[in-house]
Amino acid sequence: MEPQPAPGRFADDVTGAAVPTAQRRPVAAAAGALLAVGILAGCGVRLEAPPAGEPVPDSLEVVRRTAVADALLVADGAEAALEEVPTSRKRVVAELTRIAADSREQAEALGGEYDSGLATGAPTDTQSSAWDKATPADVVEALDDAAARSRTAAGSTGDGPLARLLASVGAAQTVSGERLAALVDVAGPDVVEPRVPEPADAAADDEGDAGDAGDEADAEEATPSGSPTDDATATGQDAGGSSAQDDDTVPEGLTPHDLSTLVVSEDATRYALQLRAAIGSGTTRDRLLERVAVHAQRADGWAAVAGTQATADDPRRAAYAVPRVAEQGDKALVIDLENDLATDYATLVGTTAAGTRAVLVDLLVDSAVALDDWGAEPEPFPGLPEQAGDDAAA
């Protein structure tokens, strides 16, 4: 009788030695899996993972996409309005054409429309349906909405370079809205008149004074005296002052060098315009003096924030170099000075803390509006000289 392998064991094909069944089962399973894959491949069937889904955008991406969508909506609206405006209205046609081109340039600078490269089955072009027809007034409204969102996002987003770009785009949209509104005789965008915030210690002193005034008012109510007109005037001033101060925030992240630069820039602008006003006349003189008052207040405000006002460290000088009128006219001088200030404020938007830089955004908008008032050519990116350089090179 031939010897048989022990139960539950099989002989190895080469050595004849017995191999445990448990050891051979994984080998058999692997062979079966390979055979199944081979059969499926031979039949043209592939095993695939489920398709990837669209990534969820973070907060910065949502801000960027919103700004891009706003810019493209304005561009599409301007192009739709061009189809409705008679060609005889040349200035309106030229303005709408410029707005459309600038808005598309802004959308591109913001990164353009997001495309993941994934097939979703959804239609990709949904922008044009919003503007089957449009009027210039519709475009003004779209510019107003877009500018407000851009300025708000510029003040609150945590990404400095994106905030700087958004502030510039918002300023350009405000200028475009004002220009188009003036041409078609509709209300333009709301423009905030910026005011340099008071430093914290000064604001605390004001609150203390307001508290003392309130105590005095309570005492006066107990024993009425004074004219009704005086009481009403005082109450109105107190209410107006407190409401204005509630929104004032000194930007966080301003360095002593930043503050010194702002003080000198604002004061040098004040000096140059005051000098020209002194030798000017008529409407030009009045307009120069209006800006003199604005820049003088801002120079004082930033010096107070820096803590250098009326001290030996005050960087302001008694006089600054100003070109002769024959070398540079009033218009060109104002444009150069306001351009420099716009660049300063745009730069600081990108370096200061989110949630505290709103006044810098508004000051950039103010410079852009002043540039337009004095006849500067509108730009898609006021305060960003590197963008203007790219345009010039192109």
| C-alpha distances out from residue 380 to 108, 285, 342, Å | 11, 30, 13
* Mean pLDDT confidence for 330-344: 98
Contacts of 134 (CB under 8 A, 6+ apart): 77, 78, 80, 81, 84
Which tens digit of pLDDT belongs to each residue from 60-116? 999 999 999 999 999 999 999 999 999 999 999 999 999 999 999 999 999 999 776
Burial class (CB in 10 A: 0-12, 13-18, 19+), 291: buried
Cα dihedral sign for 158, 161, 166, 168? positive
The helix/strand/coil state of 10 is strand
Tell me how far apart the alpha carbons of residues 383 and 325 are, in angstroms, rounded to a whole number.
Answer: 25
Residue 222's pLDDT is: 40
Which tens digit of pLDDT belongs to each residue from 181-227? 999 999 998 888 999 999 877 655 555 555 555 555 444 444 333 33
Residue 234's pLDDT is: 35
Percentage above 70 pLDDT, the chain? 69
Provide DSSP, 97-132: HHHHHHHHHHHHHTT-S---S---SS-S--SGGGGS
Question: Residue 147, CB half-sphere, CA atoms under 13 Å: how many?
Answer: 27
Tell me how far apart the alpha carbons of residues 51 and 109 are, in angstroms, rounded to a whole number.
Answer: 31
Can you give 244-296 as a three-state secondary structure string? HHHCCCCCCCCCHHHHHHHHHHHHHHHHHHHHHHHHCCHHHHHHHHHHHHHHH
CA dihedral 148, 150, 156, 161 (to 10 degrees): -160
The helix/strand/coil state of 18 is strand
Q: pTM of this prediction?
A: 0.76
